[in-house]
Amino acid sequence: MKRNISALALLTLITIGFYSNAQNTPDENRTKNIILMIGDGMGIPQLYYTMTAVADNLNIVRSTNTAIVVTRSANDDVTDSAAAGTAIATGTKTNNGSIGVDTDGKPVKSILKLAEENGLSTGVVATSDVTHATPASFIANVANRGQASEIAAQFISSGVDVFIGGGYDTFAKRKDGKNLVDSLKAHNYQVITSPEEVASAKGDKVAGLLYPEHAPRMLDGRGDMLSTSTAKAIEILSQNDKGFFLMVEGSQIDWGGHDNNIDYIRTELLDFDKAVGVALDYAQKNPQTLVIIVADHETGGLTLVEHSVTKGKLEPEFSTEHHSASPVALYAFGKGADMFKGLIDNTDIFKLMLNAYQFKNSIK
């Protein structure tokens, strides 16, 4: 009888131990980390032109899944970066010029905010002022993208762990007399103010305000700021065992489109692609990571015209100095990449990221 009791007790202990271990094992079906790469203004022609310039040798083509994304805003077939960024970040259509609010001006939560609420670390990297439309869409809630001073103030209370880009003057040289750099330090951010400081940045919270305004162009010698900052952000954020969310923007592909300058576009896209390579390399080594590469819209109405191929060289033509209504491509790699397929709306990107994370709490 004692032998039977002992055997039953042993079986019970094994069962309890197995159940306990199962409860403590991370859900392998859940995406732990998302790295969202936004090539601002990067239409398919911009990408294909750049591919031909490097004999198809781009990191983006390492992606395993693709989708086509419709970009229109709530009030126009041609979106701006504020409305497009808000759609991607929050899953909500809004009017051009608005950031982090719906068409009634009501604040809506971004995927970055929801990641924070679920204990994940978060970050934003850009080659623009960090208060510019796309990065701001993940951080702030304002009626107008021009409210840079208010957007900067919302960075302080946002809880974002790492942000790197330009915009020092937006934080430090303000009409209201406030020095938000001091506020960042009071909130335990390590503040760095030059690209040379990025690689050596340490700690859990880093505010990189590397330039007075926007970063210089690649054509003007910006160097590896974007890929180095992407690697540093991943290094810091990945210390959180629960996972992280990181948005990285190649901001100035768009500006090359506005200038109808194909060399500006090509060099900025190649730089963005180098940062994409950093993200994909991390995802290959960390299989619970999802990398999404997408444009917020197309800029310049770029066309690679018929009979333009001469000895392997493509001749681009622009139809506008503004954005176009052309759908853009999305490329995905890693955990959850197979969800991205077909023709989708830009608001679906948020919904699919939320589905990948499998957060238990609902959107409030």
Tens-digit pLDDT profile for the chain (364 aa)? 444 444 434 333 333 343 333 333 356 789 999 999 999 999 999 999 999 888 778 999 999 999 999 999 999 999 999 999 999 999 999 999 999 999 999 999 999 999 999 999 999 999 999 999 999 999 999 999 999 999 999 999 999 999 999 999 999 999 899 999 999 999 999 999 999 999 999 999 999 999 999 999 999 999 999 999 999 999 999 999 999 999 999 999 999 999 999 999 999 999 999 999 999 999 999 999 999 999 999 999 999 986 555 555 788 999 999 999 999 999 999 999 999 999 999 999 999 999 999 997 545 4
**pLDDT value for 29:** 80
**Residues annotated as catalytic (active site), given as ranges:** 81
Its pTM stands at: 0.91
**pLDDT value for 311:** 54
State how far the Cα of 235 lies from the Cα of 231, in Å rounded to an integer: 6
**pLDDT value for 54:** 86
Q: How far is CA 163 from CA 43, 44, 193, 248, 309, in A?
A: 26, 28, 12, 10, 42
State how far the Cα of 276 lies from the Cα of 261, in Å rounded to an integer: 22
Q: Could you tell me if 184 and 164 are in contact, meaning their C-beta atoms sit under 8 angstroms apart?
A: no
Residue found under tokens 């392997």: 312
State how far the Cα of 172 lies from the Cα of 152, in Å rounded to an integer: 10
Q: Which domains does the chain have, with CATH numbers?
A: 35-357 (3.40.720.10)
**pLDDT value for 338:** 97
